[in-house]
């Protein structure tokens, strides 16, 4: 399953578009793109922001395979883990997030809140 670099962030990841530490990719299977992601490298982990564009059993299988590729990349870079993050406007966490991430082996779910202050 290809993980293809893209020049611009998917609109659903638009809030992250100006983060220079992130690279944007599209995840696809035989039916076309099924997710968009942003990946950032930190000293001990890869940061992963993922937006599913469609969902179903085939997509779950494709994402599991692509996560294996991301884990291999993390190991190659000497990272100990992949940290999945979700950035949404508003103040309510998505109740589907823990179930979704557990499907793929993520543990240690937490609620993280952030605010922005422009200095320009």
The H or E element that residue 12 is part of is: none
pLDDT digits (tens, 9 = 90+) for 7-57: 999 999 988 988 889 999 999 999 999 999 999 999 999 999 999 999 899
Tell me, yes or no, whether 55 lies in a domain: yes
Q: Which two tokens stand for residue 81?
A: 């883990």
Tell me, yes or no, whether 39 lies in a domain: yes
User: Which of the four pLDDT bands, split at 50, 70 and 90, describes residue 1?
Assistant: low
The H or E element that residue 38 is part of is: strand 32-41
Question: How many angstroms separate the CA atoms of 9 and 37, rounded?
Answer: 8
pTM: 0.87
Tell me, yes or no, whether 82 lies in a domain: yes
Instruction: Examine the pLDDT at 87 and tell me if it is beyond 80.
Output: no
Tell me, yes or no, whether 22 lies in a domain: yes
Question: How many angstroms separate the CA atoms of 112 and 93, rounded?
Answer: 9
Question: How many angstroms separate the CA atoms of 1 and 38, rounded?
Answer: 17
Tell me, yes or no, whether 27 lies in a domain: yes
Tell me, yes or no, whether 118 lies in a domain: no
How many structural domains comprise the chain? 1
Tell me, yes or no, whether 98 lies in a domain: yes
Which single residue is written with the structure tokens 């530490």? 21
Q: Which domain holds residue 82?
A: 3-103
CATH of the domain at 63: 3.40.630.30
Tell me, yes or no, whether 108 lies in a domain: no
Closest by CA to 33, choosing from 16, 67, 14, 58, is: 58
């Amino acid at each position: 399953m290809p993980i293809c670099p893209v020049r611009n962030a998917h609109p659903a990841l638009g809030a992250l578009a100006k983060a220079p530490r992130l690279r944007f990719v599209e995840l696809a299977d035989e039916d076309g793109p099924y997710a968009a992601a942003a990946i950032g490298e930190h000293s001990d982990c890869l940061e992963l922001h993922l937006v599913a564009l469609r969902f179903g059993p085939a997509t779950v299988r494709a994402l599991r395979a692509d996560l294996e590729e991301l884990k291999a990349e993390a190991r190659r870079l000497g990272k100990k883990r992949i940290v999945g993050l979700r950035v949404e406007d508003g103040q309510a966490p998505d109740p589907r997030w823990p179930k979704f991430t557990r499907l793929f082996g993520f543990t240690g779910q937490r609620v993280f809140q952030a605010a922005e202050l422009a200095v320009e």
